[in-house]
Amino acid sequence: MNELNLNPLQAYNMARPPIAERMAIIEAFELASQTGCPINILHITSKLALQTIKDLKRYYPDVDCKTEVTAAHLTLTTESNAGVLGKVNPPIRTADDKEALWHGILSNEIFTVVSDHAGITKAMKGSELWSAENGFGATELLLPALLTEGYYKRGISLEKIAELLTTNPAKLHNLSNRKGDISIGLDGDFVIVNLNKERLVRADKLHSAQDFTPFEGLTLKGWPELTILKGNVVFQDNDITSKPNGEYLKRF
């Protein structure tokens, strides 16, 4: 790969190309059709993958298929400066693929957007592409990334972003009776966002235990100021104010 003068993200993209993504999606649809099982196509990364899903939905009208992309694949490209730290499965793709994903959101082909948080350390990445651990953390950057790339750069409405991050995930996981909306009887989960707040992303200013971020150096606009979980303030003024208080939610 070095002979082609590729950076790590370009090399890994070529090693796991979109055609492999297409083949996996075709297999998933066939199995879903035979079994009647609903499917959620995770981590869609490419223009080819989206077109494949569109074609298969026409060929398999009986299949209940939902679609998902990650904040990283909507933000980073093979031209980003993340290097080995940006190694993830599926790989970060080209700028054209990134634009295809945003078009998929605009045309309602994408149902949810997620962080795919994997809080590994920089030591687990190392400096060599093929031996580097996959993944990275992105939970804290999920909303700022979508506001920056979606709301500000592409004019996607705040309502649509809320739908992708809250309402639709609640529907997908059968949690609409507790999550995903503002209504009497549901959990009191809210986030208050300063849409005008800009911050330079730095790993040492984030709240994850992870000691790096492939988003390092990006300027994102639109950051949470206050987070309320089940009616209790858990984050305020860029500081975590509550001890962990999660609980198991039975989905079915």
pLDDT tens sequence across 1-47: 456 789 999 999 999 999 999 999 999 999 999 999 999 999 999 99
Q: Residue 139: its pLDDT value, please? A: 93
Q: What tokens appear for 10 in the block?
A: 């370009």
Q: Confirm or reject CATH 3.30.2130.30 for domain 2-174, answering yes or no.
A: no
Q: Residue 145: its pLDDT value, please? A: 98
Q: Residue 2: its pLDDT value, please? A: 57
Domain ranges of the chain: 2-174
Q: Residue 16: its pLDDT value, please? A: 97
Query: For tokens 């370009």, what's the residue?
Result: 10
Q: What is the pTM of this model?
A: 0.94
DSSP-assigned letters across all residues of the chain: -GGGT--HHHHHHHHS-HHHHHHHHHHHHHHHHHHT--EEE-S---HHHHHHHHHHHHH-TT--EEEEEETTTTT--TTSS-GGGG--SSPP--HHHHHHHHHHHHTT---EEE-------HHHH-S-TTTSPP----GGGHHHHHIIIIIIHH---HHHHHIIIIIHHHHHTT-TTTSSS--TTS---EEEEEEEEEEE--GGGSSSS-S--TTTT-EEEEEEEEEEETTEEEEETTEE-S----------
Q: Residue 41: its pLDDT value, please? A: 98
List the chain residues with pLDDT less than 50: 1
Q: How many CB atoms lie within 10 A of CB 105?
A: 22
